[in-house]
Structure 1
Amino acid sequence: MDAQLIAFIGVAAGMVALPGADFTVVVRNALASRAAGVATALGVAGGLLVHTALAVAGLAAVLVTVPALFRTVQILGGAYVLYLGISALHAARRRTTDGGPDADSGSDAGRAGRPSVTGPRRALRQGFLANALNPKAPVLFLSLLPQFVPDGQPPVPRTLLLATVVVLLALIWFPAVALLVDRLGRWLRRPRAARAIEGGSGAALTALGLALVTGPLLH
């Protein structure tokens, strides 16, 4: 039994499940529809595939050690997350303006509480870009993966295995989150709850985006 691999699975599971931009985007789009939520989740996993390829190829090390390149990715990622946050805040504000305080009742509550419709293709793109442009991912891969490569073992196959574990965990976790949000949609899509979720997700994404755009280098 590979004790290091088992330990890595536990660490990686906690890392994947940690709420962040990926989680927030998946939840928000899952409120629009199950298909949009699952598509966003698959997009997040696709973004992780990019980081996996970079880590195995050693390109992530180049990204981290070249400040200008890293800062460019950091600004691009922050700008995109900021865009998603402002869009969510705008949608929450529009929902407050359009829907009265009594909109929680009635047969159309579930439909009225849905965020702006997001097609699966757009949702897939949002999930992919939110993760692929996350500058923290290369740092995490480079700082975490080498710790679980046993001495004397070829690093590339082992790194590929560990990176694959992360992607598989993401393929389990994020679709599960999307399906759970959709399952609870009867309550979560009530106008007041939907406004709170959309406003909260918008505020969180905006804060994350601002932190990346205006903050110092993460490494």
Structure 2
Amino acid sequence: MDAQLIAFTGVAAGMVALPGADFTVVVRNALASRTAGLASAFGVAGGLLVHTALAVAGLAAVLVTMPVLFRTVQLLGGVYVLYLGLSALYAIRRRPAQDGGDGTPPAAPSRAPGRAPGSEPGSEPGQHALGEVGRALRQGFLTNALNPKAPVLFLSLLPQFVPDGHPPLPRTLLLAALVVVLALIWFPAVALLVDRLGRWLRRPRTARAIEGGSGVALTGLGLALVTGPLLR
């Protein structure tokens, strides 16, 4: 492994691990369930795959040469992140405010005798789980894919690590694939860690605090993305 590739790995790892909207969405969904957390993590990696493909193809340059298109995409991304933030804040109202007497979440309401989970009238086994996975996957993908700064960053960063005299396309493909691999390691690891600490993190008071913090963070990011292009 050459020195430039090692240097890029460090830079890319820092970029992927930097807390932001992606990180917040993965943590929030992992609090709901391990499956949802992993789904959103893979969704984020899918969004990165789109950005790296655009950078490799050179299509991201369009966002630089056409400011109106860049601001439109930025506005759409801001609106979506803002929606996620407001949804998180609204979800606090549906959470129980206090723990049980022993510090554990209150017991779930009992089901009718002889009725298995997922067999409520009008529902099919696994239908709710599939819907949760699809929703989490979509949230992770859109949160990353609608970030217009990502392809511009990749477009400006990847060429810096292509050695002189080397064909740019194979090298750029390698660097782009490395970013996606790092995301596939980092975000699922975050989801699994949150799930591992789930007993404590899912306590009503803790969950409300995390939900509120993620809601404030996403709302702030969304407002910054929305107001940015409008103030220019």
User: TM-score higher than 0.5 here?
Assistant: yes
Cα displacement (A) at 1:168: 0.2
Query: Matched residues, percent identical?
Result: 82
Letter in 2 for 1:26: V
1:67 aligned residue: 67
User: 1:64–1:192: structure 2 CA closer, same or farther, 3 Å change rule?
Assistant: same
1:92 aligned residue: 92
Q: Is the 8 A contact 1:110 1:186 kept in 2?
A: no
User: How far apart, CA to CA, are the structure 2 residues paired with 1:53 and 1:104?
Assistant: 52
1:209 equivalent to 2:222? Answer yes
User: 1:110–1:33: structure 2 CA closer, same or farther, 3 Å change rule?
Assistant: farther
Letter in 1 for 2:172: T
User: How far apart, CA to CA, are the structure 2 residues paired with 1:180 and 1:16?
Assistant: 17
1:189 aligned residue: 202
User: How far apart, CA to CA, are the structure 1 residues paired with 2:211 and 2:147?
Assistant: 21
CA RMSD of aligned residues (A): 1.9
2:32 aligned residue: 32
1:126 equivalent to 2:170? Answer no
User: 1:107–1:162: structure 2 CA closer, same or farther, 3 Å change rule?
Assistant: same
TM-score by length of 2: 0.85
Cα displacement (A) at 1:107: 5.3
2:98 aligned residue: 101
1:2 equivalent to 2:2? Answer yes
Classify the secondary structure of the residue corresponding to 2:7: helix
Letter in 2 for 1:5: L
Letter in 1 for 2:175: L
2:83 aligned residue: 83
1:170 aligned residue: 183
Greater Rg, structure 1 or structure 2?
Answer: 2
User: How far apart, CA to CA, are the structure 1 residues paired with 2:50 and 2:9?
Assistant: 20
Out of 193, 203, 225, which is 1:180 matched to? Answer: 193
2:163 aligned residue: 150
User: 1:76–1:19: structure 2 CA closer, same or farther, 3 Å change rule?
Assistant: same
User: How far apart, CA to CA, are the structure 1 residues paired with 2:22 and 2:93?
Assistant: 22
User: 1:158–1:109: structure 2 CA closer, same or farther, 3 Å change rule?
Assistant: farther
Letter in 2 for 1:101: Q
User: How far apart, CA to CA, are the structure 2 residues paired with 1:50 and 1:74?
Assistant: 16
Letter in 2 for 1:187: W
- Give 5+ residue unaligned stretches, structure 1: none
Q: Is the 8 A contact 1:104 1:191 kept in 2?
A: no
> Number of paired residues?
210
Cα displacement (A) at 1:104: 6.7
1:50 aligned residue: 50
User: How far apart, CA to CA, are the structure 2 residues paired with 1:155 and 1:107?
Assistant: 56
Cα displacement (A) at 1:105: 3.9
Cα displacement (A) at 1:110: 8.3
Q: Once structures 1 and 2 are overlaid, which stretch shifts more, 172-181 or 150-159? A: 150-159
Classify the secondary structure of the residue corresponding to 2:213: helix
User: 1:38–1:110: structure 2 CA closer, same or farther, 3 Å change rule?
Assistant: farther
User: How far apart, CA to CA, are the structure 2 residues paired with 1:52 and 1:36?
Assistant: 24
Name the one with the larger helix percent: 1
Letter in 1 for 2:48: L
Letter in 2 for 1:52: T
